[in-house]
Every structure is written in C-alpha cells, then in structure tokens.
Chains A and B, each alone.
Chain A
Amino acid sequence: MSDRDGGHTDGGVAKQRETGSRSGGFGGLAGRLFRTVGTQVELFVHNYGRYLGKTIVGAIILFLWAPIFVLSFMSFSQREVLSFPPESLTVDWYISFINNPQALEALTTTIQVAVIATPLGIFLSLLIAYSVSRYDFRGRFLLQAVATLPLIIPLIVVGVAMTMFFGFVGIQSGFWPVVFAHTVQIVPFGTLIILATLISFDTTLEEASMDLGANEFETFRQVTLPAILPSIIAATLLGFVISFNEFIYTYFVKDARTNTLPTYIWDRLQHTATPEVNVISVVFLLVAIMMVVVAVAITTVERVAIRQ
C-alpha cells in the first residue's frame, strides 16, 4: 500500500521500515490468524455495534420498567395471594387502602416528615455551601467532609448509631428523631448540589453588587439567590424524594406507633403481603412521576422567564 518514502531525508531507514512493519508483532501463522479474526470482529462491531448498543438500551429499559408494570397491574388483582396474571380485575384494593386508617396515617406521617425535613435540610445545606464557597476558614475542608460523609458511610451504620445515640441521651424515639434523621440524609445531597453552582457562579457579579453599595444580605438576595435558585429547587425536589422514600434511618429511630409509608410496607411484608401493598407501590410511583413533572415544569417556566 504505502511505499512513499521518496521524500524522506533518510530514504534508507524508510525502506527498511517497510519490511519490518508488516511482519512485526505476532510471528507466524497463529499470529496472522489472530489478526484476521481480530479484524473481522472489529469490522463486525463497526457495522453492527450501533444496533447492539441500542438493543442493550432497550433490554435494560425493559428490565427496569417490567417490575413496575407488574406491580401496577397486580394492584388490580382479585385474589389476596400474589398471583400473575390476575384472574379478574378490581379496584377493591384501592378502596381498602383508602379505608385503612393505619396506611393513611403512615402516608400522612411520611408527608409531614418530608415537609419539615426537606426545607430544614436544604436551609442547613445552603448555609454550609455558602460559607464553604465564600469564606476561607480553618476547618473548611473538615466541614465539607462531615457534610458529605452521610453519603459515604453505609446507611445501616448511621442508622444504628442514631438508635444508640437517642437511647443514650434519653430522647424518646418517634416523630422528631425521624425528622432529624431525614435531615441528616438530605444535607449531603443539598450541600453538593448547591455548592456546585455557588462555585461555578461568577463572583465578580457579587463584587459588582457590593461595589454599587449593596450590603451582604441585599447582595445575596438580589444577585446570588436568583442565580442559585434552580439548584436550590433541584435540591429541594431531590430532598423531598429522599425523605419520602427513606427507610433505613427511619426503621432504626422510629417508635412502634410512628410509621412512614416505607416502614409500614416493611411491616406488611414481614407478615402476609396483600395486593394493598401493590396499591401503595402505585402511590410511590405516582409521587416519583409527579416529582419529575414538577422538575420539568419548573425548569421550563424558568427557561421561559429567562427568555423574557
């Protein structure tokens, strides 16, 4: 193929190469065979890799959604025993869920906890992220590390540590420990998300604002806050989802009377599962979809607002 060595300063070296380059690497028949097979495989992937990749994506999305469809479908199943496909369809389990005071109370508690823990967690995250990004002080990295640590230490470890703590200091387990535990779990996510935007945010805008005579509060309210608001909203949504689904911390710090929806299902699964659990799973799915819709709606509104 290539015998273009004429222009080279050292033609002799170039000539020598041609012989060397084709026989190099693997010697003999086995090597040539290996190369031919390798080339064929490469060509196959070049031609069909795209379809292979798309098939994998399709298969994985099917794998991820099949269980959710199974549950949704089974929430309409007639029989009490788990069965698939259901013999006949009914909405009885939705009615029994609505008429079950324990389940409804668990749902109410879940929402109450999330509504308190989320803003609290995000507020603490905001204070930490702002201090870490705007001020240089001793212990800055320690603070950042501690705020991120709940993400790294396994949930069960922190869960049992909290059990021992609340027991040790004599705080009655129940509603407020659950709220505080959820807050601990929200803080690392909130801090990381808000910190990321605070760091990428152009600080000269803040300096300009201060230069124009605004004090720190005014600068924060009028310059910084609007810029990081999207990340605060994102963190809040994520915080709400985390709290709404939280199980392990809750499991260890709750008392017998306090139940969130996840611990309620756990209890049910320890005994006999009824299609009512399927109903609850549909509730969770709807909340998740709602959150995504809210997130999309907010970002769209924001984009429209920015354009105007």
Chain B
Amino acid sequence: MSGAQPTVGRVTELVRATSNYLRDRPRLRLFVLLALPVTFLVAIFVIPLLIMGWYSFLSDMPPASLTLDNYAQALSTDLYLGIIWRTTVITIQTTVIVTILGYSMAYSLVRFSKKATLLLVLVILPFWTNYIIRMYAWMNILQSGGVLDTLLMWTTITSEPLGLLYTQTAVLIGFIYIWLPLATLPFYASLTNMDPNLIDAAKDLGAGPIKTFLTVTLPTTMNGIVVGIILVAIPTFGSFITPALLGGTDNVMIGMTIEDQFVSTFNWPFGAALAVIVSLFVVTAMLIALLLGTDLFKQQGVDQ
C-alpha cells in the first residue's frame, strides 16, 4: 500500500500537468481526443466507400481504364431496370404496411394499454434475435406443406397446400416481420410525446375519433412517422438476405444482384456501380422524405 501511494500521486500529478498543458492548446486537445476515432472511421469506412466509387468507373479489375460502361449497363438493361423496379415496389409495399400496422399498434399501446412498457418489450424482443434465424423460421412456416399449410388444411380453410415460400408474398411477409418492431419505436415515442389533451380538445370541438386522428394526431406525430419510414425503407431497399431466403430466383432484388457480383460472378466494378446507384437512391429518398415530412408538418394549417 505504502509503495502504491507515491505512484498514484505521480499519476495524478501527470494528469494535472497534461490537463493544464492541453487547456491552452485546444487544437492539440482535440487531436488527442479525435485522432483515434477519426483515423478509424476514415480508414475502415470512408476510404472503402471512396475505393468503391473508384471501382465503379473501372472497365475491369484493377489495373484497368476508366469508363462509364458499368452505369450504362445497369441503367439501360431491362434485367437490371426490372430488378430496381421490383426492389422499389417491394420497398414501398413493405413501408406502407409496416407503417400502418406499427402505427396502429403504437397508438393502441399509448392510448389504450395499461401495461404499455411490458407489451413494448414483447414487441422489441423478437427484433433482438438473429435476422437469418427469423427468416429461417418463416421458411419453415411458409414452405409447401409447412406450418402454415398444415394449420390451414387442418382447420379446413384450404384444401391444397399454398406453398407461399419463394413468392413475392413471402418476401413481403419476411420484411414486415423484420421491420415492424423497429418502426414501432419512433411511432411510440412520438405518440407518447404528444399532449393527450389535444385529442380531448378535438373531440370537445365536435370531431369524432377518426376526424380527430386525421386532423390532429397524425399531423402532430408526423416527425415520428417520417423517422419510422426511413428506418424501414432504407434497409429494405438494400436487403439481400430476405429475398435470397424467401424469394428464391424469381424475386431477385438489387441487394442480391450486388452480392452476386462479388460472391459468384466476380464482376467487382459492375457490383460497385450498382452499390453506388443504391446509395444514391437511398440518400435521395431520405432527403425527399425529410423535406416532405417537415413540409407536411408545416402546411397542415392551410386547409383540410
């Protein structure tokens, strides 16, 4: 103990000296704080993205000449345009359904439920289990003669197995299942933050529950809705696990095509170009959503 004391004293002294030294040198202080995280992010995140951008203009694996062919191929071939279109459609379908279901649930939890926190944990918990495992579970449920078919035929709702696996419906169910818990969180947060007196005020002024919802609740929680939509739409657009496991070869989405370029076709420059296109798509969609969201929020007052 007695031996440790001077060491501790010396360390404290050193810390104090360093603090005093850095206090007068803000740039150095910032450097000490940020050198590690900035270096790390630049090296492992920013530079890879830049390299990807560079790859997307290459005619072949490096060393190779620069070209726009990859983009031309992606944006003029019916195959790829079709895939981008299908991806967009599925993304929109997923987002709309998840928003409606998630918002209804969040609304019900906030307004009607006494055990909202417990129920919210029940909703979130499945989200913490593994993505692939959850998709695998749906493979079991949706496959021909699987859990769903057995159940439907046992209850004599259908007489033939539906065999939903490897259809677009299956992909949609998979996405809804994955994103519903995540989207519920911002909906729940914005509804909790909303003053419940506003709802009473609207009813007091003669608006029924539906009108109250459309003219008061919806506009005042628009921010949460936009966040939820972004949280669902972005990962859906870039997803490849769900369509690969549940959609099979007939329901290819853009994420699967990118993966294909790196894992089996080995056309890295073309894959990079597709990845750049996906990124641009996502960033643009997000900016539009944000603008639209704030705009909606502001313009509600004009007239309903």
A and B touch in the complex (CB under 8 A): yes
Residues of A at under 8 Å CB distance from B?
Answer: 38-39, 41-43, 45-46, 49-50, 53-54, 56-57, 60-61, 63-68, 70-71, 74, 82, 84-85, 124-125, 127-128, 130-131, 135, 137, 143, 146-147, 149-150, 152-158, 160-165, 168, 180-181, 183-184, 187, 215-218, 241, 245, 247-248, 252, 261-262, 265-266, 269, 273, 277, 280-281, 284-285, 288-289, 291-292
* B131 touching A157, Cβ below 8 Å: no
* A161 touching B111, Cβ below 8 Å: no
Docked pose: A183 CA to B41 CA in angstroms = 9
Which of B71-79, B119-127, B215-223, B291-299 lies at the interface?
B119-127
Interface of B is mostly: helix
Docked pose: A32 CA to B235 CA in angstroms = 47
What are 6 A-B pairs with beta-carbon distances under 8 A? A154-B239, A154-B279, A163-B262, A164-B48, A165-B51, A181-B44
**Interface: B163 (CB within 8 A):** no
Q: Which of B90-129 contact A (CB under 8 A)?
A: 101, 104-105, 107-109, 111-113, 119, 121-123, 125-126, 128-129
Of the four ranges (under 10, 10 to 19, 20 to 34, 35 or more), the interface on chain B belongs to 35 or more
Closest chain B residue, CB of each to CB of A245: B130
Interface centre among B245, B259, B261 (most CB of A within 10 A): B259
Q: Which of B229-259 contact A (CB under 8 A)?
A: 234-235, 237-241, 245, 255, 258-259
Docked pose: A241 CA to B128 CA in angstroms = 7
Docked pose: A107 CA to B222 CA in angstroms = 42
Q: Quick one: given A156-B255, A180-B44, are A284 and B130 in contact (CB under 8 Å)?
A: yes
Contact of B255 among A43, A61, A154 (CB under 8 A): A154
Contact of A152 among B46, B109, B128, B286 (CB under 8 A): B286
Across-interface contacts of A285 in B (CB, < 8 A): 129, 133
Closest chain A residue, CB of each to CB of B282: A154
Across-interface contacts of A292 in B (CB, < 8 A): 121, 125, 128
Docked pose: A45 CA to B107 CA in angstroms = 14
* B15 touching A217, Cβ below 8 Å: yes
Docked pose: A127 CA to B251 CA in angstroms = 44
Q: Which of B141-172 contact A (CB under 8 A)?
A: 141, 143, 146-147, 150
Q: Which of B169-185 contact A (CB under 8 A)?
A: 177, 180-181
Across-interface contacts of A56 in B (CB, < 8 A): 101, 104-105, 108
Across-interface contacts of B205 in A (CB, < 8 A): none
Contact of A288 among B16, B125, B238 (CB under 8 A): B125
* A60 touching B180, Cβ below 8 Å: yes
